[in-house]
Amino acid sequence: NGMRVEVIEYGCAVKSIIVPDRTRGARDVVLGYATLEDYELATASVGAFVGRVANRIENAVFTVEGKTYHLAQNNGKNHLHGVLNKTVFHASVEDDRLALRYTSPDGEEGFPGTVEICVTYTLTDENALVMDYTATTDETTILNFTNHSYFNLEGAESGSIEEQTLMIRAKEFCEGNEETCPTGRILPVAGTPFDFTKEKPIGRDLFSDDPQLRMAHGYDHNFVLDKDYGELALVATAYSARTGIVMDTYTTQPGMQLYTANFLGNDTQPGKTGAMHANYQAFCLETQHYPCTPSHPEFPSIEVHPDEEYHETTIYKFSVR
């Protein structure tokens, strides 16, 4: 139905998502790079599958079953996203889906357990990209996978996303400290720039004087989704009045990080068309468990045991309004 998705084995990266707009033209609505070398050298996780633990682990340390593990401090004093975005997966076509697999060895990055990971992408007749993540481990470990696509519903290189609108089904969000790690306080969105319960332009409050937005130079916060844990449900709708493209996000995950590409201008590599990326050129809807969960036992757990299978699903579905 006019939708096409390109994926590469390096980081399971989604290189392009081409969808029809209201004029029946084709728009590539995700950022990406032109060459493999660009993906290797880039400092942003554009389009990539990230983990073993997406988002931040505070102080790059966590404890599982009484044993403490130390990770690389790759984001100030914290650990961010892991190395799977820089890892080559093995891809195969299985029925109507693309399956990408990788065995993460015990001790990789400092994490315990050998983890068998399978990422599958399915493109449906309803113009939905279905992302399924499954994993098993031979030792108790922590896992939190997400996709880090940067979306712009007016085209990958079309400029700012400030006028594009967003609705998020979340009445609460995680307060962040000066390093955007959750403090542990869950705050109501009502009466704040974080209220996306009704569709509004992403840029309406983006540069307001709210201390949370000043701290992160925009949105870089986890929203506590209004749904049952593990339920696959609609959690967000983004829209461009200019193109008519609608993107509905569904997920089984309990949280979603809204990131407005506050530092994308620091990326070292040019985008697909040869131009350097810019801040606020895209938005990310990173469905996930909450950041820094090991520091907050009250958050939904990310521990996975040898007798369990990790399984999460996220869907990005496109239509025209």
Residue type (1 letter), 298: E
Per the CB < 8 A criterion, the answer to whether 88 and 9 are in contact is: yes
The kind and range of the H/E element at 39 are: helix 36-41
For residue 40, what is the enclosing H or E element?
helix 36-41
Nearest Cα to 161, choosing from 170, 173, 149, 153?
153
Q: What's the longest Cα–Cα distance across the chain?
A: 59
User: Which member of 79, 81, 148, 289 is catalytic?
Assistant: 148
- Note if 148 is an active site residue: yes
Q: Are 247 and 29 in contact (CB under 8 A)?
A: yes
User: How far is it, in rounded angstroms, from Cα 251 to Cα 117?
Assistant: 19
Residue type, 231: E
Interatomic CA distance for residues 104 and 1, integer angstroms: 36
Count of helices and strands (H, E) across the chain:
2, 25
Residue 40 corresponds to which tokens in the numbers above? Answer: 């290797």
313: nearest Cα among 249, 246, 260: 249
Amino acid at 153: L
With beta carbons less than 8 A apart as the criterion, state whether 213 and 251 touch.
no
Q: Is 126 an annotated catalytic residue? A: no
Q: CB–CB of 130/316 below 8 Å? A: no
The CA-atom distances, in angstroms, between 151 and each of 87, 88, 154, 161, 230 are 22, 23, 9, 9, 25
Amino acid at 250: Y
Catalytically annotated residues: 148, 286
